[in-house]
Amino acid sequence: MSDGPEHLTLARHGYLVGREVGRLAYGCWRLPETPQEALAGKIDAALEVGANIIDTAAVYGAGEAERMLGALLAERSSLRDEIVLVTKGGITPPVPYDSTKRHLIASCEASLTRLNCEAVDVFLIHRPDFLTGAAEVAEAVAEIVASGKARSVGVSNYTLEQTRALQSFLDIPLVVTQPEFSALHTDPLDDGTLDYAQGASILPLAWSPLAGGSLATGRVPDRADLRATGLVAVLERIAKDNGSTRECVALAWLLAHPAGVVPIIGTQSPERIRAAAGAFEIKMSRRDWYEILEASRGAPMP
């Protein structure tokens, strides 16, 4: 007989572009707020915990995040082979979106210049452009791959139907979808994003996995209602049971999903990057997982 509830499996590794990747990724959207000389310590901390997917975008700091990462890659040429590099294009303030073929190709080329590399591993459409048809977007990303500027492509903030529409015009598979997903923002569970990802072998990279840090700090955003307070309390209880933190429990909740979700952590503290690996040590029962979801929804499961 079992001595207690069975714990959910939290796999530490997955696969992307034919490479083994860690189930945590490191996001660069806040790099421009920090000095260049601190970047190496952050990337090294990420690699220490297996977070070898490095996620950036042309729009982060108006290109500054890519330039900072490119400077480090130029300084440490061996680093490029250690990471799976992801960048994004298509957001053009104040337009705000342009996914025309001409713009996406130019955006990717400009990213490569800033990143000091010949190709990225994955190029993502950052947000859907309602004025560019799926056929033209497909033409652009297919050319980006065919020309060797990116090894593969994917989407960010796309709905299920937008993803399906783009894939229908492509002979190459989309390999990544990047939705907002956290215990406070659970839409991908219900809108088909994670179901489609499983069926199409697409890797989900979850942005804002701690709801802008609020699930770690306990300071819920103004837009959140009383459900968020209950959610933080449940995370705190499970954290205490594990001798861990709310942050690790919130990440473990994402890691437990069978779609193989990879949370993108964005802290600028090497210590907190290392501490995030504690998520894999969380012992979470099936009941724990659903209790978190029920707290987030403010109602028991039907």
- Residues tagged active-site: 60
**CA-CA distance, 302 to 300, in Å (whole number)?**
6
For residue 86, list its beta bridge partners. 55, 122
Tracing tokens 């990225």 back to the chain, one arrives at: 120
Q: In 3-state terms, what secondary structure has residue 172?
A: coil
| Among the listed residues 21, 29, 28, the one whose alpha carbon sits nearest the alpha carbon of residue 82 | 21
Please check whether residue 211 is in contact with residue 184, taking contact to mean a CB–CB distance below 8 angstroms. yes
Return the HEC string of 199-259.
Answer: HHCCEEEEECCCCCCHHHHCCCCCCCCHHHHHHHHHHHHHHHHHCCCHHHHHHHHHHCCCC
18 Cβ contact partners less than 8 Å away, ≥ 6 residues apart: none
Please check whether residue 257 is in contact with residue 23, taking contact to mean a CB–CB distance below 8 angstroms. no
Dihedral of the alpha carbons of 112, 116, 119, 120, in degrees to the nearest 10: -80
Burial class (CB in 10 A: 0-12, 13-18, 19+), 274: middle
Q: In 3-state terms, what secondary structure has residue 88?
A: strand
Please check whether residue 145 is in contact with residue 152, taking contact to mean a CB–CB distance below 8 angstroms. yes
Please check whether residue 80 is in contact with residue 116, taking contact to mean a CB–CB distance below 8 angstroms. no
